[in-house]
Chain A
Amino acid sequence: MAAASTHSHTSNDARADSKPSSSGPITQFYNCRVLRDHQLVDDSLYIQNGKIIDPAKMFWDEQRIPDVRIDCKGGIVSPGYIDLQINGAYGFDFSNDTDIIEEAVSNISKGLLLQGCTAYCPTTVSSRPEVYHKVLAHLGPRAGSIEDGATILGAHVEGPFISPQKKGAHELATLRVAKNGLADFEECYGLNNLRKYAAYVTMAPEVEGVLESIPKLIKATGICISSGHSNATSAVANKAHTSGANMITHLFNAMHAFHQRDPGVIGLLGASESRPFYGIICDGIHVHPHSVMIAYYAHPAGACLVTDAMSAQSLPDGFYKLGEMDVDVHGGHVYIKGTNTIAGSVITMAECVRNFIKFTGASKVEALENATLHPAQMLGITDRKGTLDHGADADILVLDDNLFVQRVFVAGQEATEENVKFTKKALS
């Protein structure tokens, strides 16, 4: 009796006349702690059609239950890592491999995906204009997938409007000034290229013409600006920030050291009003752990873990190319050959996150948000990346309690070594 009459009432049910079921199987991650609202909460996570969905709507409106259930074995469910600064990996380099740039992008994207980095900004070092005109079009935004690897958020164009004194491993001959304002950026990159393909540009605000161009460049292209490779005084650094530069590129590296009367770019972490985001390289080499701690305590909400990795990331020790320079990679250190100038790192995002906890004693939530939420906030993309909010892209990591990556999902699909095939480039 009950069953038959139940059905006859269903059509009258308040919930049954709501919108029709959307298609696509629903997957539930269960037996896990989900990173949500700055906490790890005992909860489940539901995804459908590559997006995180509201399970209450699924239950009440669509009267559905999950089609697939994934046992996370008590692990942590986090958004995928976002690397705002990476020059290369697996033997490929975005600035150097201009002739095989698609191959480089494809292999790096897939390799990073398996590392747990589900979105990134391919980074170019200071180069001649023809390089930008050639490669930027290949570094523009593209969606992540099993086939294409990690999401590309747009290029991080680092240089060449940077300080010769703070050039780091960038080639001196490529550096330039912007005495003609926007026209120089147009000539160097092509403003249209920035608009279409770049996420943000690193520049030194004290370089001639740069400071005045920051608001115009933002207006003309819609991209973000980061201060870096800069010898700027505190006054100039402040001006750049209030003009719209909302980030500092690899804090402490390639900028003048903290001085109490002129803290320079670093001093922005002590600004009383708004403070910028800052990338920080947690390989224990670029930045001393104590410096990481100081930065984090000064401005926890701005920390973005970046790898600044170069082509030798995930390759054995040896001699490699960075741009057009020879570099020496040994035991996690990367130096320009024959010098003690650091030329990038070979660290992964997952290692950065674990190091960050080691260096600062921060909570897992804080460390994870530095690799997910904050980078997404910096780029203004928290509606789809860096969170597990309903509607965000289903780029998801399952981590163990020591934050080792157990499983990786991009756009709702699990990435494994079986279904994500890529090649490394042999380097000499």
Chain B
Amino acid sequence: MRLVIRSDAGTVADYIAEYIKQRIIQFEPTPEKPFVIGLPTGSSPVGVYKRLVQLCTDGSLSFKNVVTFNMDEYVGLPRDHPESYHSFMWNHLFKHIDIPPENVNILNGNADDLQAECERYEAKIQSYGGIELFLGGIGPDGHIAFNEPGSSLQSRTRVKTLAYETIIANARFFGGDVSKVPKLALTVGVGTVMDAREVVVIITGANKAIALAKCIEEGVNHMWTVSAIQTHPRSLVVCDDDATLELHVKTVRYFKSIEQVQDEMIGRENLGLYGQVAGPLRYTAIPSGN
């Protein structure tokens, strides 16, 4: 796992948007071989989407050959309801970019057979050969998508009952009326996310600090579902200074030192996107001593 620490939410969003842009460009997607990305909703990704829109508007990034799978959707909420995740994605991303509508996938929370809808979704992901990069946010309790504490780390796309606290917290989006808040959601599972070839998690703000510490400094644990990324072969967490408040100084220093070595001693030009060595090193060889 890599941990990249930036000063604030804005620079975190800059980093991730640029990262996604480079990943898509280096992937060289085509209609036959699209770049398949998993996408979250919520407050964490808003800044990232804003920057991706800007990159698309200025012509430096295209979504023509990108296929998206969203993480989750409420059950029973009309698609055009302003709080639906369809509306969220439409307003924050899809209406501003050049993605073909048929490349967009979001779980249908109004399907007659919700279980069948979940199975269809997993099958559709498989039909593309899986997800290349899954972008995620994280809740204060360490959840990813609607996989709240206690969710199986092997879980697949399924119907979930929302935690009482989530329903209360969401009431503010429904005119303060708890009775209007959906009680069920469809969500990809932790296993669905971890099957992606790469997982990138955005973690910003002091209210996520405990979750970040639990997820990366303690053991893999279903009470902090994002901790599952510890076993993922290619995962990246991008956080801001505020989110590091509960981390050990040692942890923060370690990950900052990695970037420092890469920047000052190896040189960015020698490294690929994942920090891997990209070709023969061009920095001055260490003197053998005399």
* Chain A residues engaging chain B, CB cutoff 8 angstroms: 1-3, 5-6, 8-10, 12, 14-15, 44, 54-57, 59-60, 62-65
Q: List 12 A-B contacts (CB under 8 A).
A: A2-B32, A6-B127, A14-B111, A56-B86, A56-B87, A57-B80, A59-B101, A60-B79, A63-B101, A63-B102, A65-B98, A65-B101
Cα-based distance from A152 to B275 in the complex (angstroms): 67
Interface centre among B80, B87, B111, B124 (most CB of A within 10 A): B124
Q: Which residues of B contact A10 (CB under 8 A)?
A: 102
A-facing residues in B241-272 (Cβ within 8 Å): none
Point out the residue from B86, B98, B123, B128 that lies within 8 Å of A60, measured CB to CB. Answer: B86
Q: Is residue B31 contacting chain A, with contact meaning CB distance below 8 A?
A: yes
Q: Is residue B180 contacting chain A, with contact meaning CB distance below 8 A?
A: no
Q: Given A55-B95, A60-B86: A9 and B123 within 8 A (CB)?
A: yes
Point out the residue from A5, A6, A9, A57 that lies within 8 Å of B120, measured CB to CB. Answer: A9
Q: Is residue B233 contacting chain A, with contact meaning CB distance below 8 A?
A: no
- Select from chain B the residue with minimum beta-carbon distance to A55: B95
A-facing residues in B41-95 (Cβ within 8 Å): 67, 79-80, 86-87, 90, 94-95
Q: Is residue B108 contacting chain A, with contact meaning CB distance below 8 A?
A: yes
Cα-based distance from A261 to B127 in the complex (angstroms): 80
**B80, A56: Cβ atoms closer than 8 Å:** yes
Beyond A9-B120, A44-B95, list 7 extra A-B contacts (CB 8 Å). Answer: A1-B127, A2-B32, A2-B34, A2-B129, A9-B127, A59-B90, A63-B101
- Select from chain B the residue with minimum beta-carbon distance to A57: B80
- Select from chain B the residue with minimum beta-carbon distance to A5: B127
Chain B residues with a Cβ closer than 8 Å to the other chain, count: 28
- Select from chain B the residue with minimum beta-carbon distance to A58: B101
Q: Which residues of B contact A60 (CB under 8 A)?
A: 79, 86, 90, 101
Q: Given A2-B34, A2-B129: A9 and B124 within 8 A (CB)?
A: yes
Cα-based distance from A64 to B31 in the complex (angstroms): 17
Q: Is residue B33 contacting chain A, with contact meaning CB distance below 8 A?
A: yes
Q: Is residue B219 contacting chain A, with contact meaning CB distance below 8 A?
A: no
Q: Given A15-B108, A56-B95, A59-B95: A64 and B101 within 8 A (CB)?
A: yes
Point out the residue from A1, A54, A59 that lies within 8 Å of B94, measured CB to CB. Answer: A59
Q: How many A-B residue pairs have CB under 8 A?
A: 57
- Select from chain B the residue with minimum beta-carbon distance to A14: B108
Interface centre among A5, A14, A62, A64 (most CB of B within 10 A): A14
**B111, A5: Cβ atoms closer than 8 Å:** no
Point out the residue from B33, B87, B111 that lies within 8 Å of A2, measured CB to CB. Answer: B33
- Select from chain B the residue with minimum beta-carbon distance to A12: B120
* Chain B residues engaging chain A, CB cutoff 8 angstroms: 31-34, 36, 67, 79-80, 86-87, 90, 94-95, 98, 100-102, 104, 108, 110-111, 117, 120, 123-124, 127-129
Q: Which residues of A contact B94 (CB under 8 A)?
A: 59
Q: Which residues of B contact A1 (CB under 8 A)?
A: 127, 129
Q: Given A2-B127, A9-B120, A64-B101: A56 and B90 within 8 A (CB)?
A: yes
Q: Which residues of A contact B90 (CB under 8 A)?
A: 56, 59-60
Cα-based distance from A240 to B143 in the complex (angstroms): 64
Q: Which residues of B contact A55 (CB under 8 A)?
A: 95
Tell me how far the C-beta of B34 lies from the nearest C-beta in chain A, rounded to whole angstroms: 6
- Nearest 4 Cβ contacts at the A-B interface: A14-B108, A5-B127, A63-B101, A2-B128
Tell me how far the C-beta of B99 lies from the nearest C-beta in chain A, rounded to whole angstroms: 9
- Select from chain B the residue with minimum beta-carbon distance to A63: B101
Interface centre among B100, B108, B110, B127 (most CB of A within 10 A): B127
Cα-based distance from A2 to B127 in the complex (angstroms): 6
Cα-based distance from A2 to B69 in the complex (angstroms): 14
- Select from chain B the residue with minimum beta-carbon distance to A9: B124
Q: Which residues of B contact A14 (CB under 8 A)?
A: 108, 110-111, 117
Tell me how far the C-beta of B122 lies from the nearest C-beta in chain A, rounded to whole angstroms: 11
Tell me how far the C-beta of A65 lies from the nearest C-beta in chain B, rounded to whole angstroms: 7
Tell me how far the C-beta of A416 lies from the nearest C-beta in chain B, rounded to whole angstroms: 28
Cα-based distance from A65 to B95 in the complex (angstroms): 10
Cα-based distance from A64 to B102 in the complex (angstroms): 8
Q: Which residues of A contact B120 (CB under 8 A)?
A: 9, 12
Cα-based distance from A2 to B95 in the complex (angstroms): 24
Cα-based distance from A158 to B86 in the complex (angstroms): 51
Cα-based distance from A2 to B80 in the complex (angstroms): 29
Cα-based distance from A385 to B123 in the complex (angstroms): 47
Interface centre among A2, A10, A12, A54 (most CB of B within 10 A): A2
Q: Which residues of A contact B36 (CB under 8 A)?
A: 2
Tell me how far the C-beta of B114 lies from the nearest C-beta in chain A, rounded to whole angstroms: 11
Q: Which residues of A contact B102 (CB under 8 A)?
A: 6, 10, 63
Tell me how far the C-beta of B191 lies from the nearest C-beta in chain A, rounded to whole angstroms: 21
Tell me how far the C-beta of A15 lies from the nearest C-beta in chain B, rounded to whole angstroms: 7
